A and B are shown apart, each in its own frame.
Chain A
Amino acid sequence: MTQKILFIFCLLCIAISCGEDDNENQGYSPTPVNIAVPAIFSQLLPPPEIPINNPLTQEGVALGRALFYEKKLSADNTLACAGCHKPNQSFSDQRRYSIGIDGIAGFRNSMPIVNIAWNTNNKFNWDGSANSLEEQVLEPVINEIEMHNTWPNVVATLKTDPRYVTAFSNAFGTSTISQELVAKALAQFIRTLVSGNATFDNYLLGQATLTPQEEQGLAVFLDENRGDCFHCHGSPSNPLWTDNDFHNNGLDEDFTDLGLGDITGDPAQFGLFKSPSLRNLAYTAPYMHDGRFQTLDQVIDHYSEGLVFSPTIDPLMKTVAQGGVQLTPQDKAALKAFLLTLSDPSLASNPAYQNPN
């Protein structure tokens, strides 16, 4: 009991001694903001995961949005995040490999970055190399074949712009710009990139219908003997359309890119890559981690007849011995028609996602 009273007394003293600092931050009062959760997500998914140390605020999101479109993040002021994550391509890139500021191409296709707030396993990138969104956004800035900058240089550049000094002060209560705060702001904005207004979402809500062919495609998707897509790519119960996990989906017999295994060093994980969401496939070509397939037809053909064995192939590729699930032309066409119902045309035109600079 005495210890508790002493503890509270100390707390009281600390509160008194901190009074002056509180007054210094009187101008810092960011407005909390919530992610616009689509109706079907509210019904089926847990709430979005927001880190306790980086809550969303109007000021933070606005700053993150400005930074997302800010070319000054790159060494020569020519490339912003949005250069490889374009709103009209579900925040991915239609080029197989994005081109960095020095004209050098990367070696993986740009991942779409929507509905990231529901990435519950906290592994980001095709290879799971980042353990948080705040960590993920730091790397492209200093990647030699992407923005090829340094964080001290980015911070120094932003400090020369009075708009950013004010924006950081409004968002975080400090005019001291740092890479950590840049990352926090970018992460806040990216978490607001939500896609949940596809035809199929509205179908689930009873506000749209599917054609007979689209319904047939859904049946193929959910049939363990045909598409068997649901184990890795969600279902009408999981509108993320991904399991956010890592798999070897039978692309290669030998690996030139080890994916998750390159990060963990575990041979059991060589050639494993994150399952991308099937949302917005209409806008996210080319497909696979290396963008090898230009069309959705090629993707379907791969799972139907193109699977190859490798030591780490996922056991869910049950028909690899036959080369795939052997879909009929009718099933393929139906599956494609269904998959396209997962595309959300309102994403690209959402005014909250446009370039504010």
Chain B
Amino acid sequence: MTQLALVIDLNVCVGCHACVTICKAWNTSGWAGPMTDQRPYDRDPTGTFFNRVQTFEVGTYPNTETVHFPKSCLHCEEPPCVPVCPTGASYKREEDGIVLVDYDKCIGCKYCSWACPYGAREIDEKQRVMKKCTLCVDRIYDQSLPEAERKPACVLACPTSARLFGDVHDPDSHVSVMIREEGGYPLMPEWGTKPANHYLPRRKTRLRIHEDELLRADNPLKKEGQLPAPSGDEQTLDDITSW
């Protein structure tokens, strides 16, 4: 069974919000649109987005990490949002595990959003139906797109390629390999929702300079006759022994 998902690499995400607005752009005129905005040019503008990028700070100065954290529907394998839906508008596709909402069936009761621990669903306040990330289901199977572009809009847009897309059930897929090898993890594992989307943690590259690496036979100062002498005027045996 296929389970399509995103894997988001926090190690390279710079928090640019490209995935946020490209998602809006693709979807507002697409199958899942419009994504209505409220008070677009007035006080407290707000609107429907399927994907948001948030920022967290970890630790205290000076050991602070700034973590940019994109979040969209995680297409849970045990999606708590689906069974609670009274109308069947929320469903998980058998063939690829994508969780979708059928706007024609949705009554806008918001119950599914209560049942999502991740805050991944947003109601469209104008259309009054529940909306969420579709994993760009209207792109990834679109035969009229070149094969390389049959990917979610946000994945193609992401400048740091922090967003990877693939089948997490296929152990050989790029996403599975990354999850396995780079320490991919699910969000809020405590609820057993088994999010299909995974996150890759920050990884650090360090450099260790050994002291003896500073001393070298070919030190250019030698050529100037100026190799750093053992500092200053320390005594040597030569100075004090007389036999």
* A and B are partners in one complex rather than unrelated chains: no
